[in-house]
């Protein structure tokens, strides 16, 4: 019996998978994102789902559906992805949904934006349950956002929530998207690492890369940054100060425009640095609000690093419900049409019988 759904959160550093049954996480796994190409990344996604199924004690035949949240531009109807510069091989078109689907025959696979999925996870099952209008900002390898308006995920024309590519400093640092001064160029983990390397070349000192090596990492992860902050590394402190100011400005601009009830700050870096980081971002935002006496609630995530994967299952569950409702409506419309046809035939027969009696 197909009783479970699989949710996958694909990031530039890690792939998080969960198995959900009756609204509960019954299995999960975390794999590193390969640094090679799209084929290896997709193979690791499939492996992460299988690992999560193993921890749940389930076979693939138990899956009703698979949902994947991914960075980049997503074609929801086809499951194709592109422009995900933080994921190896995902800059150009990748048939993510169809390729993962081939590994799980008979199981539908949907693909959506990773941050939209995470926002839905927090909105339905996490810190956002109390609100109808909120913004989720997830600070990880990059910076992304998702918007809930009037209790619904807002898609716009397909690119809603790209707060990481709003400008916080005209002519500033170059972002991975090639533009200058984006929020992601100051607050994204990858940009923080690149800026740190650039400043080392200019003579600044840091413990950041020594910590990375001691932890056996091949990149500056969120935990590496957290450890460097705990050791009062001056360059790391400087870079996080810049990230906080950039986030505060971007969030204030969003609030001034939308007058939201709440803003949720999460992602790999946001979750790892925790509430002190969230409170600093809140203070930086407050300095730039038009109406500081009426701020939004600024919250950390409740689901933490499971926000994206759990949110992906929320998206697939809601889509399955929507498809079932459409199917039920079509069945109802067909039954109504059949009944009307039957009544019309009865009426025509009665009229014909009446005419025959009159002729007799």
Q: Is residue 227 part of a domain?
A: yes
pLDDT band at 228 (very low <50, low <70, confident <90, very high): very high
The torsion angles phi and psi of 305, rounded to 5 degrees, stand at -75, 0
Mean pLDDT, residues 19-24 taken together: 90
Same domain membership, residue 254 and residue 207 = yes
Alpha-carbon distance of 34 to 44, in angstroms, equals 8
pLDDT band at 323 (very low <50, low <70, confident <90, very high): low
Query: b or e along 75-105 (b: 16 or more beta carbons within 10 Å of the residue's beta carbon)?
Result: eeeebbbeebbbbbbbeeebbbbebbbebbe
What's the distance, CA 341 to chain centroid? 48
Phi-psi category of 238—alpha, beta or left, where left has phi over 0 and alpha has psi -120 to 50? alpha
Same domain membership, residue 280 and residue 145 = yes
The torsion angles phi and psi of 214, rounded to 5 degrees, stand at -65, -35
Of 301, 332, 351, which residue is a domain's last?
Answer: 301
- What pLDDT score was predicted for residue 13? 84
Alpha-carbon distance of 183 to 241, in angstroms, equals 13
pLDDT band at 171 (very low <50, low <70, confident <90, very high): very high
pLDDT band at 317 (very low <50, low <70, confident <90, very high): confident
Same domain membership, residue 220 and residue 110 = no
Same domain membership, residue 166 and residue 283 = yes
Q: Are 288 and 249 in contact (CB under 8 A)?
A: yes
Residue 53 has pLDDT above 90, yes or no: yes
Same domain membership, residue 277 and residue 318 = no
Residue 229 is encoded by which pair of tokens?
């902050």
Please give the tally of structural domains in the chain.
Answer: 2
Please give the residue range of the domain that contains residue 132. 127-301
In this prediction the pTM is 0.82
Residue 354 has pLDDT above 70, yes or no: no
Q: Tell me the CA distances in angstroms from 90 to 28, 70, 163, 211, one per residue in order.
A: 24, 10, 20, 29
């Amino acid at each position: 019996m197909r009783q479970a759904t699989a949710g996958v959160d694909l990031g530039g550093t890690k792939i998080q998978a969960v198995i959900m049954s009756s609204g509960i996480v019954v299995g999960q796994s975390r794999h590193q994102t390969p640094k090679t190409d799209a084929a290896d990344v997709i193979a690791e996604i499939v492996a992460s789902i299988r690992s999560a199924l193993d921890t749940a004690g389930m076979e693939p035949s138990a899956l009703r559906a698979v949902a994947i949240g991914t960075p980049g531009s997503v074609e929801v109807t086809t499951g194709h992805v592109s422009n995900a510069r933080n994921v190896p091989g995902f800059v150009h078109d990748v048939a993510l949904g169809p390729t993962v689907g081939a590994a799980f025959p008979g199981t539908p696979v949907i693909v959506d934006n990773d941050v939209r999925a995470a926002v839905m996870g927090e909105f339905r099952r996490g810190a956002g349950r109390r609100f109808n209008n909120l913004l989720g900002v997830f600070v990880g390898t990059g910076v992304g956002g998702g918007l809930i308006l009037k209790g619904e995920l807002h898609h716009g024309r397909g690119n809603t929530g790209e707060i990481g590519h709003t400008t916080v400093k005209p002519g500033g640092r170059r972002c991975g998207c090639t533009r200058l001064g984006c929020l992601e160029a100051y607050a994204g983990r990858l940009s923080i690492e690149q800026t740190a390397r650039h400043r080392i070349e200019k003579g600044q000192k840091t413990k950041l890369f020594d910590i990375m090596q001691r932890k056996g990492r091949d990149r500056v992860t969120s935990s590496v940054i957290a450890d460097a902050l705990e050791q009062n590394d001056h360059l790391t402190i400087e870079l996080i100060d810049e990230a906080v100011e950039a986030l505060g400005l971007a969030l204030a601009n969003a609030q001034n425009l939308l007058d939201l009830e709440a803003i949720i700050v999460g992602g790999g870096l946001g979750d790892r640095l925790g509430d002190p980081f969230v409170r600093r971002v809140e203070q930086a935002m407050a300095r730039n609000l038009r109406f500081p006496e009426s701020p939004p609630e600024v919250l950390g995530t409740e689901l933490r690093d499971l926000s994206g994967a759990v949110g992906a299952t929320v998206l697939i569950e809601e889509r399955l419900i929507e498809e079932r409702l459409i199917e039920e409506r079509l069945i109802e419309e067909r039954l109504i049409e059949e009944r009307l046809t039957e009544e019309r035939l009865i009426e025509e027969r009665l009229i014909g019988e009446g005419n025959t009696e009159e002729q007799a």
